[in-house]
A and B are shown apart, each in its own frame.
Chain A
Amino acid sequence: DTAVSQTPKYLVTQMGNDKSIKCEQNLGHDTMYWYKQDSKKFLKIMFSYNNKELIINETVPNRFSPKSPDKAHLNLHINSLELGDSAVYFCASSHVYGGSYEQYFGPGTRLTVT
């Protein structure tokens, strides 16, 4: 009965590879997010989707491409991975248009680029 789930939990890959992280929420929320948390624990928003539409796109390299096949899923694809992409990536969801802004976070995906 996990609310927000992410796969994989750990991802180790080499520079130049392409990888994807998947996220699913079973809360019926209308909005989903991707955050990046670096080694200093700083949490920065990357993207937000509402009902499959991109509504927030922060200054993120275009090697990062989010995809939302339906409002319960938001995947993150990363092309040509670089060392600086190593971080923990969190997916989150909320019911923004229902007036509740509380965000529920997934357990995170620790990406290590070697």
Chain B
Amino acid sequence: GENVEQHPSTLSVQEGDSAVIKCTYSDSASNYFPWYKQELGKGPQLIIDIRSNVGEKKDQRIAVTLNKTAKHFSLHITETQPEDSAVYFCAASIRGKSTFGDGTTLTVKP
């Protein structure tokens, strides 16, 4: 089955700095790679996703890159703000089944 590794497990940055979270996956058949943000006491919420036929996608301060050959994808958050503090999950999906990484706790210090 699919195996997703996510690093780092915790990340602390100063407000205004950039944050990068990286994931690798094992199943080359995976074709959909979402990123979720989970705030305390809430369910995960999709913030950005990318399909296997695209190498990069950007939405305001967040961007995701995908390297299919190396089987890794990354989340980039620029100009971080305190409200970006949360747990972030990557996932690799095939036919609607998602395997999640173990999460990254991002803390943005004012």
Interface residues of A (CB under 8 A from B): 4, 31, 40-45, 48, 50, 55-56, 90, 92, 94, 96, 101-108
Contact = CB atoms under 8 A, between A and B. Distances in A.
B102 A42 contact: yes
A105 B44 contact: yes
Interface residues of B, number: 23
- Looking at chain B's contact residues, the main secondary structure is strand
Contact of B32 (A50, A101, A104, A108): A101
Nearest to A44: B100
Interface in B72-105: 87, 89, 93, 95-100, 102-103, 105
Given A90-B43, A107-B42, A101 B103 contact: no
Interface string B28-69: 000010101010011111100100000000000000000000
A112 to B, nearest CB: 15
Contacts of B93: 101
A103 B97 contact: no
A8 B4 CA distance: 31
Nearest to A31: B96
Given A42-B102, A43-B89, A105 B97 contact: no
Interface of B: 32, 34, 36, 38, 41-46, 49, 87, 89, 93, 95-100, 102-103, 105
A94 B45 CA distance: 13
Given A102-B46, A103-B46, A41 B97 contact: no
B42 A108 contact: yes
Nearest to B89: A43
Contacts of B97: 45, 48, 56
Given A42-B103, A105-B36, A105-B45, 12 more contacts: A41-B102, A43-B89, A44-B100, A90-B44, A92-B43, A94-B96, A101-B34, A101-B93, A101-B98, A102-B46, A104-B46, A107-B43
A56 B99 CA distance: 12
B89 to A, nearest CB: 6
Contact of A108 (B43, B45, B89, B102): B43
